[in-house]
Amino acid sequence: MSIPTHQNNLEIKRHEDNIKFLQTEINRLSHSILNLQVSLAKHHSEKGNGTTDENGDAHMEEEETEQIMRQEGSAATLLCKLKPMKSHHATQALNLALTQDVLGIVGVVASLGRVEDDDLSKILSEYLGLDTMLAIVCRTHECVKVLEKYDGDGMIISSTGIHGLGSSIGNSIKGRFQVICLEDLRPYVGAFVADNPQRKLALPKPQLPNGECPHGFLDYAVNMINLDKNLLSVTTSGHGLRETLFYCLFSRLQVYKTRREMLLGLPCINDGALSLDGGMIKESGVFALGSRKNIDVKFLASSVESSMPANYIETEDMLKKLKLERTHVTEDMQREQELLDLAKMT
C-alpha cells in the first residue's frame, strides 16, 4: 500500500469537506420537505375528517340556487325549482323520464365547481358566458334525447320532455338552452398530479423560448376548479368532471396574476389566457378588449377546499423541487464518496 503524499492528503481532506457540506444540505432539504409534507398532510387529514363548515356549505348552496333562480325562463331555473319538489312533478309529467336517477342529469355548470376567490370567479364566468354557465350537464346521450321531443315536422312538442315539465309547474322555458353530454365529450388523456385529492391534471407548465415558466403564471383554469369528491368520477368509464366537462370548456387555458404578466407570456399561449385583473385572450391571436362584463351567474367560493392555503399550488411545486434537489445532492455526495475512496487507495 502506497504512503499518502501531502497532495493526496489535501485531496482526501477536500473530498471529506465536500461530503460534510453535502450531508448538511441533504439534512436541510429533508427538514424542509418534512415541514411541507406535514402541512399538506394536515390539510388532507382535516378534509378527510369532515372539518368543513356545514353551515357555510348550506349557505353557499342557497346563494348558488338564488343566482340561478334569478334567470327566469331558463332550463337551469327549472332544475333548481325541482330540487325541493323531490321527483313528484317529474314523475307525474314524464313517467320518471326526467328524474335524476333515470336520466342522469349531473347539474348546471355553475353549480358543479368552486373557485378560490372572487376575481377568479368573475373572469372564468365571463370567459364561459351566461349560456354556458347555465348549461345542463348530462351523463349520457339518452339524457339529451329525453329532454326534448319533436313531431314529424321537426317542431318541439311542448307537452313533453323538459318543456312539458316546465309548463306543469308554471316555468315555461324561453329560447334556447345548452346541454352538455359527458358521454359524447373527448376526455383528457394523460397523467394526473400524484397524491392530489382533487385529481388535478398533470399538465406541463408553459415555457418561454428561454425555457423558463412565464412570471405570474398561476395554473391552468381546468385545475383551478375545485370539485366535490362525488364529482371526481361521474361517467361509466370512470372519468370525472375535470377531465371531461371542464377540460372541454377550458382546455389548456392559462391563468395569470396580471394582464401585464399575461402579455409577457404570449410566446407560450396557445389555447388562450386570462388574468385576475380582467385580461382575456380567447385563443392565440384573438384578444378580448374593452370593459369587463359582469355575469349574473358565476362560480362561488370554494367549499371543497375552503381551508386550503392560498399558496397551496406553490407549496406542492416547492415540495417537488426540494425532492428533486435532494436527489441531485445525494448523487453528488455519492460521487464524492467514490472519489474519496479512490484517493485513499492511491
- Say how many residues make up the chain: 346
Query: What would the mean pLDDT of 325-340 be, rounded to a whole number?
Result: 89
Q: Mean pLDDT across the stretch 298-321? A: 65
Mean pLDDT of the chain: 81
For residue 39, the model assigns a pLDDT of: 72
Q: Is the pLDDT of residue 322 over 50?
A: yes
Segment 188-194 long-range contacts (CB within 8 Å, at least 24 positions apart): 188/222, 188/242, 188/243, 188/244, 188/247, 193/223, 193/316
State the Cα–Cα distance between residues 257 and 216, nearest whole angstrom: 5
Which is more confident, 7 or 244?
244
Residue 206 near residue 213 (C-beta atoms within 8 A): yes
- Annotate 245-264 with b (16+ C-beta within 10 A) or e (fewer): bbbbbbebbbbbbebebbbe
What does the pLDDT average to over 296-312? 61
Contact at 8 Å (CB) between 197 and 126?
no
> Distance between CA 269 and CA 277 in Å, rounded?
18
- The pLDDT assigned to 31 comes to 83
What pLDDT shows up at residue 46?
54
Binned at pLDDT 50, 70 and 90, residue 90 comes out as: very low
The reported pLDDT for the residue numbered 83 is 63
Q: What is the pTM of this model?
A: 0.67
| Low-confidence winner among 4-8, 43-47, 215-219, 291-295 (lowest mean pLDDT) | 43-47
**How far apart (Å, rounded) are the C-alpha atoms in residues 123 and 132?**
14
Instruction: Assess whether pLDDT exceeds 60 at residue 55.
Output: no
Average pLDDT over residues 86-111: 58
Q: Looking up cell 325562463, which residue turns up?
A: 73
Please give the share of the chain, as a percent, with pLDDT higher than 70.
82
221 has pLDDT over 70 = yes
What's residue 232's pLDDT? 87
Q: Which pLDDT score is estimated for 214? A: 92
pLDDT at residue 250 is higher than 50: yes
Look at the block and give the residue holding cell 348550506: 58
Helix residue ranges per DSSP H, the chain: 6-48, 54-69, 75-82, 88-94, 100-103, 118-128, 130-133, 141-147, 161-168, 247-250, 259-264, 312-345
The whole-number pLDDT of residue 163 equals 83
The band of 124, judged by pLDDT with boundaries at 50, 70 and 90, is: very high
The alpha carbons of the chain give a radius of gyration, in whole angstroms, of 27
Residue 47 confidence class, pLDDT cut points 50, 70, 90? low
What is the rounded CA–CA span in Å between residue 300 and residue 279?
20
Residue 319 has what DSSP assignment?
H
Q: What pLDDT was estimated at residue 222? A: 96
